[in-house]
Amino acid sequence: MHFISPVLWQFLVKWLTEFALFPPEASAIAPYMDAFYFFLLLISLIGLVLVGLMVGVFSIMFRKEKSPQATQIEGSTLLEATWTIIPLALFMVCFVWGALLYFRIYNPPTNAMNIYIVGKQWMWKAEHPGGQHEIDALHIPVGRDVQLTMISQDVFHSFSIPAFRVKREVIPGRYSTVWFRATQPGTYHLFCTQYCGTLHSAMIGDIVAMSPEDFRKWTAESTSGQSLAQNGERLFASMGCVSCHSATAGARGPNLAGLYGTKEMLADGKTITVDDEFLRGCILNPTTHVVMGYVPIMPTFQGQISEEGLIDLVEYIKSLDTADRIRQTLNDSDYSPNQVGPTGPAPNYRSRQLTGADQLPDAKPDTSTSKGMGPSPQ
């Protein structure tokens, strides 16, 4: 290789060694996806070889030189049935396999830790329940089920982590979810895969999968001091929500304590489960989400709360499990230091296994909302 200049040679070597052919398998679902992929590849290969063989062999055997006379054949029902049914059967296998994989990827396990993602042109914002905010990056622990609840602030985006083999559209106006469990610590690509305007290809980021200890360290270091629920509580007070949803006897609005996850009857007779999507809808379009027995008097908050604010509120409502907790917010809104929660923090968060934050040390400031609220000047 002496005739190639050393600089060029180095460049070539670097270029060729850096080049990837197969994405890293870094999540629990990845091996399943890859197995299916290889199955599909196998089918394709068989199909291609079959067609190639037929075309190739017949072309050689029946070329004009060897076969000056064509023999007219009408067709063969048996053969045609064969190559209808076999592909159909194979495609059905693909369908079932694919469907199983799909439901596995899109139905999060109940005990996954929840992280909120807000997409906007052209950045990703991640909101950890403990109050860690990230931009164009997402830190997650290895070996834990992580659920992402995602929403877009403007146009369609799509949250894609090729190394985890997961992707989901991030839609304006409604939450979508995806989950994964990282298996290999490392830094992986995060792409926006739905075309979203000028800097679409700059809407990328890093997924940092860390060992649980590292993650714990990271959460402790990067907390903003306010959990999402705490932010939500402040919003709840400052937007005046608390004046109607006061959880007192004569309250004009429904009591929100312990509401999350329950079934509610709506004014039009439908029954729904209270989830993130429903709570968000209630805040933005109250009149279309009226709960049975209440008058639609709540004003809309469309355009007044950012997506992050909505997430905070939802997270706050999720955290409420007793009416006391709300009444406490009432008082907290005056920021009087002597109203430190008498009920104690621990029972407040029993219903919050969903977020999983309680299992982590950084969730400490989170689980003692009222303590944190009182003394701090905010």
H or E element in which residue 110 lies: none
Shortest spacing between CB 135 and another protein, in angstroms: 19
CA–CA distance, 144 with 224 (Å, rounded to integer): 23
Complete DSSP assignment for 138-164:
EEEETTSEEEEEEEESSS-EEEEEGGG
Shortest spacing between CB 306 and another protein, in angstroms: 12
Shortest spacing between CB 262 and another protein, in angstroms: 23
CB neighbour list of residue 316: distance below 8 Å, 6 or more residues apart = 228, 229, 230, 231, 232, 233, 235, 236
Measured from the CB atom, is 37 or 248 closer to another protein? 37
Measured from the CB atom, is 30 or 357 closer to another protein? 30
Q: Which of 203, 170, 229, 211 lies closest to 349 in space, CA to CA?
A: 229
Q: Using only C-alpha atoms, what is the Rg of the chain?
A: 28
Q: How far is CA 187 from CA 23, 105, 164, 182, 356, in A?
A: 13, 21, 11, 11, 23
- Which letter does DSSP use for residue 303 in this model? T
Shortest spacing between CB 25 and another protein, in angstroms: 12
Measured from the CB atom, is 29 or 257 closer to another protein? 29
Shortest spacing between CB 12 and another protein, in angstroms: 10
Rama region for 75: left / alpha / beta (φ>0; ψ in -120 to 50; rest): left
E strand segments, 163-254: 166-170, 176-181, 186-192, 204-210
CA–CA distance, 7 with 371 (Å, rounded to integer): 63
Place of tokens 């694919």: 98
Measured from the CB atom, is 87 or 344 closer to another protein? 87
Measured from the CB atom, is 229 or 310 closer to another protein? 310
- Which letter does DSSP use for residue 81 in this model? H
Measured from the CB atom, is 162 or 212 closer to another protein? 162
Shortest spacing between CB 368 and another protein, in angstroms: 36
Measured from the CB atom, is 128 or 289 closer to another protein? 289
Shortest spacing between CB 241 and another protein, in angstroms: 16
CA–CA distance, 39 with 22 (Å, rounded to integer): 16
Shortest spacing between CB 37 and another protein, in angstroms: 7
Tokens linked to 240: 């005046």
Measured from the CB atom, is 98 or 225 closer to another protein? 98
Shortest spacing between CB 21 and another protein, in angstroms: 6
CB neighbour list of residue 197: distance below 8 Å, 6 or more residues apart = 121, 122, 155
Instruction: Kindly tell me the burial class for residue 232, based on how many C-beta atoms sit within 10 Å of its own C-beta (0-12, 13-18, 19 or more).
Output: buried
- Which letter does DSSP use for residue 291 in this model? B
Decide if 110 contacts 145 (C-beta within 8 A): no
Measured from the CB atom, is 23 or 143 closer to another protein? 23
Q: Name the amino acid, one letter, at 318.
A: K
Shortest spacing between CB 85 and another protein, in angstroms: 9
- CA 181 to the chain's CA centroid: 12
Measured from the CB atom, is 97 or 335 closer to another protein? 97
